[in-house]
Amino acid sequence: MGEALFIHRLHFAFTVTYHYIFPQLTMGLAPLLVVLKTLALRTGNPVYDQATRFWSRIFAINFVAGVVTGIPMEFQFGTNWAKFSELTGGVIAQPLAMEGVFSFFLESAFLGLFLFGEKRLSRIAHWWAGFALFLGTWMSGYFIVVADAWMQHPVAFNRLPNGSFEVQGFSGVLTNPWALVQYSHVMSGALITGAFVMAGAGAFYLLSHRAPEFGKMFVRIGVIAGVIATILQIFPTGDIHGRYMAEYQPASTAAMEGLFHSEKGAPLVILGQPDVEHQRIDNPLVVNRLLSFLIYGTPTAEVDGLDHFPRENWPTSIPLVYFAYHIMAGLGTIFVAIMGLALLLLWRGTLYGMRGMLWILMLAVPLPFIANTAGWLTAETARQPWLVYNLLRTDQGFSANVSSANGLFTLLGFMGMYAMLSIFYLFLLQRVVDEGPEASA
Amino acid sequence: METVWFVLVALMLAGYVVLDGFDLGAGALHLIAARTDEERRLVLGSIGPVWDGNEVWLLAAGGTLFYAFPLLYASSFSGFYLPLNMVLWLLVLRAIGIEFRAHLANGLWRDFFDGVFSLASLLLIVLFGAALGNVIRGVPLGADHYFFVPLWTDFRTGPQPGALDWYTVLCAVVTIAIIAQHGALYLILKTSGELNRRLRTIANILLPAVVALTAASLWASVGVRAELLDNYRATPAGWIIPVLVAAALIGIFRFTRSGREREAFLSSCVFILTMLVGAAFALYPVLLPSSGDPTLSLTIHNAAAGARSLSVGLGWWSAGMAVAIGYFVLVYSLFKGKVHLHSNGHL
């Protein structure tokens, strides 16, 4: 039982973590493609069309990887989390089914038109195809966040006599305030990925002394989008999200911050390792009273530590929650510094020639993927031991009829499949980057 | 209200089989029918702009099933755990087979992905056919509404069957013939010349097999589950369905011979649709029969979501599907007619 639960958790964690590598780039690049396409329309300069074609090729490969790793997710609620699905399907499947009906059909129709229709459609119609694609990917993200937000902060439901949940009305679940906050945080996170990838590619071309016209364009658009997104990520979206957590999931906040004991004027732990056995932070680097200030706006407010909550309601792995959160928040802060500095240099007109800064932009490309992954890891592990916060525990939700051996068998299968997919993905992307935007004339 | 959702989910699944059926069938025939790189590009070009949208029907149907009948979704997806995960792997392989092939103009690369695409398509047809067989035959549901079927046991249709037994294997074979024919008729509609002629030969060979296997599977189905005829006895108007099935088969035969490609393909659509409607009509109100105690079967009554969820869902579902059908009309009308090389980026 314990082993089966662990395997089912790992199964979902692995497949969804791997999956989210791709959609964050899809959702991050889609608005930038619209920006490029708009610049092409407004300036009439064909280099923007060429740039759009280049990024469309990357977008297409990435989109395929996102689709094929996303399909298993839609089914995995039933295969590995049957009891959870049985009880919550009347609520949680509303956004999931709506994603299929409203987003996937839209995306599937307009992806082909956008990728292959440039010569057949008018310039305006082609812009609209790109816009529809952007809309589809961002709607898709909303429906998924709505499903997760309901698990984080269940609203607008009735509980039936058999223990299952049903919606109270059409809009209650869709307008969950938690979903609005989480969505804005997730989407600015995706935009950060798109911006860093575009700026990083531009830096690569400038550093390799190739296609300088495109290198400068990618760096410029990437840095401007990156500054906006990295700031939005912290303020207001991250800030409000943190306060929501503190208000509605106080035990999660205590685990994220590594706060074992309730304190007036609680410190913010910047670095250190949580020692759960002795209930303290080893090698701490802290800023006194800052946590109280960030949550309540006053440095002397009392923040509940883990000791305030019954042990069986503590997140299952405090160190994992703590590290995931600190990686996310630490990288988020570094992103503001990188993009802020790059913008300053761009404004002063020295960025394109400053190889040190270009190296930083190029090498930073993997970091937003890590930060986004760590962010989701924080959200999902901090919610433990609950599937639906305070209502349904994780050990009550998995498929008890699927043995740990069968779970492990398919987990290994997915690992093999995704290892192969990774190789093809990187190989094909490398080819597109190597051929370069010059080849997309 | 449960009945409404039964009809909607059944129609979505039938829509999936009709639409994705032709590109799966095209995939199964890909290596046999299309020999040269040009021909294979024509086959892929015939399904390229539409296969992804067709497959969305499966996702949308799955999501809708999850919403309307959460217990059925939970019980069947976990109970068919192994075959369903294999379906997922095959869907991954098939998609990258189609989409990654064109990126390299290298013979080995293309042969590899042609093989992946074709084999994955064929195996998906086998698994989908066997899945339908399992739903008709029934599964060993427990008192907790759950079950778990191994891939196979002794290949008999007893109270403890595997996913594969003689009956579900028969269903898989029938499905291969029907879906391959469906794919051939679609490709005939989209191609010309030598490839078109070869596909006609394949379709002509498949038709007698489809007729014989369909008859055999219907006979076997009634043998495995005699209750399938209950609804037809209670509501004799239901016999119109098998009449339509037979009419559609005759249509395929006549229209193929007279070279009316569009009508032949549409007859195949009607044939598949009516076969599935006939199965759904026979099962109603059961969603997943029990192979043991019949009172343990999952029905629209014990597996449906709360009444409020069902009534709320009807609004957004109708709006969303109306828009989705609009996209399909748009995409298919932009893509009508024969496919020629270099007519779009997929080729």
**For residues B196 and B189, what is the distance between their CA atoms, to the nearest angstrom?**
8
Q: Examine residue A385 and say whether the peptide bond preceding it is cis (omega within 30 degrees of 0).
A: yes
Structure-token pair, residue A263? 């304190």
**For residues A62 and A137, what is the distance between their CA atoms, to the nearest angstrom?**
12
CB B258 within 8 A of CB B105: no
Contacts of B100 in chain A (CB under 8 A): 64, 424, 428
The CB density around residue B212, as the number of other CB atoms within 10 Å, is: 12
Q: Which of B99, B17, B62 shows the shortest CA–CA distance to A68?
A: B99
Predicted pLDDT at A440? 78
Interface test with A, best of B1, B20, B57, B77 (most A CBs within 10 A): B77
* Residue A174 touches partner B, C-beta closer than 8 Å: no
C-alpha distances out from residue B170 to B85, B133, B164, B175, Å:
22, 8, 9, 9
- Identify the bridge partners of residue A155 per DSSP, sorted by sequence position: none
The DSSP call for residue A266 is P
In A233-306, where does DSSP find H-type helix? 239-248, 250-257, 290-296
**For residues A13 and A418, what is the distance between their CA atoms, to the nearest angstrom?**
14
**For residues B239 and B125, what is the distance between their CA atoms, to the nearest angstrom?**
27
* Domain residue ranges of chain A, discontinuous segments joined by +: 191-402
A97–B78 CB contact, under 8 Å: no
- For A:256-275, CB contacts with B below 8 A are none
C-alpha distances out from residue B333 to A109, A196, B52, B187, B286, Å:
12, 39, 16, 17, 38
Contacts of A60 in chain B (CB under 8 A): 99
Q: DSSP letters of A326-361?
A: HHHHHHHHHHHHHHHHHHHHHHHT-GGG-HHHHHHH
The DSSP call for residue B152 is B
In a domain, B153, yes or no: yes
* Residue A83 touches partner B, C-beta closer than 8 Å: yes
The CB density around residue A334, as the number of other CB atoms within 10 Å, is: 14
CB A176 within 8 A of CB A149: yes
* Residue A240 touches partner B, C-beta closer than 8 Å: no
**For residues A270 and A280, what is the distance between their CA atoms, to the nearest angstrom?**
14
Predicted pLDDT at A1? 52
A98–B345 CB contact, under 8 Å: no
- For B:20-59, CB contacts with A below 8 A are 48-49, 52-53, 55-56, 59
A89–B99 CB contact, under 8 Å: no
**For residues A26 and A59, what is the distance between their CA atoms, to the nearest angstrom?**
6
- Residue ranges, chain A, pLDDT below 50: none
Position B166, amino acid:
W
CB B138 within 8 A of CB B225: yes
Could you read off the pLDDT tens digit of each residue along chain B, which spans 347 residues?
999 999 999 999 999 999 999 999 999 999 999 999 999 999 999 998 899 999 999 999 999 999 999 999 999 999 999 999 999 999 999 999 999 998 898 999 999 999 999 999 999 999 999 999 999 999 999 999 999 999 998 888 888 889 999 999 999 999 999 999 999 999 999 999 999 999 999 999 999 999 999 999 999 999 999 999 999 999 999 999 999 999 999 999 999 999 999 999 999 999 999 999 999 999 999 999 999 899 999 999 999 999 999 999 999 999 999 999 999 998 898 888 888 876 444 43
Nearest to A402 among B78, B89, B95 (CB): B78
Contacts of A399 in chain B (CB under 8 A): 74, 78, 81
What are A342-369's pLDDT values in tens digits? 999 999 999 999 999 999 999 999 999 9
B96–A61 CB contact, under 8 Å: no
Nearest-10 Cα torsion for A176, A178, A181, A184 = -70
Interface test with A, best of B81, B145, B298 (most A CBs within 10 A): B81
Residue B51's closest chain A neighbor by CA? A108
A-B C-beta contacts closer than 8 Å: 215
Q: Which of A260, A248, A273, A20 shows the shortest CA–CA distance to A150?
A: A248
* Residue A404 touches partner B, C-beta closer than 8 Å: no
* Residue A136 touches partner B, C-beta closer than 8 Å: no
What are B94-121's pLDDT values in tens digits? 999 999 998 898 999 999 999 999 999 9
Q: Which of A53, A370, A376 shows the shortest CA–CA distance to A196?
A: A370
Cα B89 off chain centre by: 17
Q: Which of B32, B15, B43, B26 shows the shortest CA–CA distance to B193?
A: B43
Nearest to B74 among A68, A86, A108 (CB): A86
Q: Examine residue B161 and say whether the peptide bond preceding it is cis (omega within 30 degrees of 0).
A: no
B56–A105 CB contact, under 8 Å: yes
CB B168 within 8 A of CB B155: no
In a domain, B268, yes or no: yes
Contacts of A109 in chain B (CB under 8 A): 53, 327-328, 330-331
CB B146 within 8 A of CB B78: yes
* Region label for A65, one of left (φ > 0), alpha (ψ between -120 and 50) or beta (otherwise): alpha
The set of residues, in sequence order, having a beta carbon less than 8 Å from that of A341 and lying 6+ positions away, is A357
Interface test with B, best of A105, A111, A423, A435 (most B CBs within 10 A): A105
Residue A97's closest chain B neighbor by CA? B63
Radius of gyration, CA atoms only, chain A: 23
Residue A411's closest chain B neighbor by CA? B85
**For residues A222 and A225, what is the distance between their CA atoms, to the nearest angstrom?**
5
In a domain, B345, yes or no: no
**For residues B5 and B64, what is the distance between their CA atoms, to the nearest angstrom?**
9
Contacts of B323 in chain A (CB under 8 A): 102, 105-106
- Tell the residue number behind the tokens 């190889």, with chain if given: A355
Predicted pLDDT at A120? 84
CB B78 within 8 A of CB A399: yes
The set of residues, in sequence order, having a beta carbon less than 8 Å from that of B226 and lying 6+ positions away, is none
Give the ipTM.
0.93
A428–B103 CB contact, under 8 Å: yes
Give the domain range for residue B101.
2-334
Structurally, how many domains does chain B consist of? Answer: 1
